[in-house]
Amino acid sequence: MELIRHFAAGVERCVVIEEGDPVLLDSIRAAGIEAEGKQEMYRFGELNVARVRRILAGDTSPEPVPPKGKPPELCQGCSHRDVFEVLRDLDCIVSGDIGCYTLGVLPPFNGMDTCVCMGASVGVGLRHVLPPEQAKRVVSVIGDSTFVHSGITGIAGPTGGSAEKPVGLVHWAVAGPGGVQSRHRVFLGDRAIVREWSLNAALDLLRRELMC
Ligand code: SF4
């Protein structure tokens, strides 16, 4: 605060322009330093160069209406688009999660049926509450970081695996000019062993693909 006091004493006009509430301004004034804030109409919304200019000039005339935006969507060319096309075309029931792939809920995919919170898609799953025919159509989508962060508890804990999803079940795949090859297997052992065997199996599949 002494630095600010020293600065304010050396200028003709000290203006504090901060986005949102005047937190800094109130503290500075409470310390007995004279400072101007922004006009009330600029308390909301983002700051930009034009708005800062208006604040400095004390301009409180109505602001120009911003150009109309377009609805958000998954980026063109994003591989998530292919996934949501397939989920839509197969009429899957999609348990969603938080990430840019949440945009799969919007047209043209309309491909997400639930979205609760980060990590919930696997746990929500819906498979255990829906009739078997509908349960077969359920797919959970989740980003890799979110999966490791909290989504994995929907599979691994707290009571461990099930007959359908035993602990140690690993799927791996490789895509090449000849198509996609996928494998799965249940590796027995602790986490380190499962990780090592998974890595070996994935590298072996990749080696075979490259030798073809
Ligand atoms: S992952 Fe997200 S940010 Fe990246 S291309 Fe896809 S939609 Fe865009």
Are the C-beta atoms of residues 45 and 71 closer than 8 Å to each other? no
Expressed in angstroms and rounded, the spacing between residue 2 Cα and the centre of ligand 1 is 45
Determine whether the shortest distance from the Cβ of 78 to ligand 1 is under 6 A: yes
pLDDT of 147 > 90? The answer is no
The predicted pLDDT at position 162 comes to 76
Determine whether the shortest distance from the Cβ of 74 to ligand 1 is under 6 A: yes
Indicate the pLDDT class of residue 154, thresholds 50, 70 and 90.
Answer: confident
Condensed to tens digits (0 to 9), the pLDDT of residues 74-125 reads 999 999 999 999 999 999 999 999 999 999 999 999 999 999 999 999 888 6
Condensed to tens digits (0 to 9), the pLDDT of residues 159-211 reads 667 777 788 889 999 998 888 999 999 999 888 999 999 999 999 999 999 98
Determine whether the shortest distance from the Cβ of 127 to ligand 1 is under 6 A: no
| CA distances for 134 relative to 40, 93, 128, angstroms | 54, 8, 10
**Smallest Cα–Cα separation from 5: which of 35, 46, 44?**
35
Residue bearing the CA closest to ligand 1, atom 6: 78
The predicted pLDDT at position 158 comes to 64
Residue bearing the CA closest to ligand 1, atom 5: 78
Expressed in angstroms and rounded, the spacing between residue 143 Cα and the centre of ligand 1 is 11
Which of the listed residues 80, 102, 142 should we mutate to test ligand 1's pocket, taking the one with most ligand atoms within 8 A of CB? Answer: 80
Which stretches of the chain are DSSP H helices? 2-9, 23-30, 49-57, 79-89, 120-124, 132-135, 144-146, 153-156, 191-211
Which of the listed residues 73, 74, 85 should we mutate to test ligand 1's pocket, taking the one with most ligand atoms within 8 A of CB? Answer: 74
The predicted pLDDT at position 70 comes to 87
Which of the listed residues 78, 83, 101 should we mutate to test ligand 1's pocket, taking the one with most ligand atoms within 8 A of CB? Answer: 78
Every domain of the chain and the residues it spans: 2-57, 70-157, 166-212
Helix (H/G/I), strand (E/B), else coil: 74: coil
Could you give the CA distance from residue 25 to residue 22 in angstroms, rounded to a whole number? 5
Indicate the pLDDT class of residue 67, thresholds 50, 70 and 90.
Answer: confident
Of 29-33, 129-133, 195-199, which range is least confident? 129-133
The predicted pLDDT at position 161 comes to 75
Could you give the CA distance from residue 148 to residue 37 in angstroms, rounded to a whole number? 45
Over the chain, what is the mean pLDDT?
A: 91
Average pLDDT over residues 33-39: 96
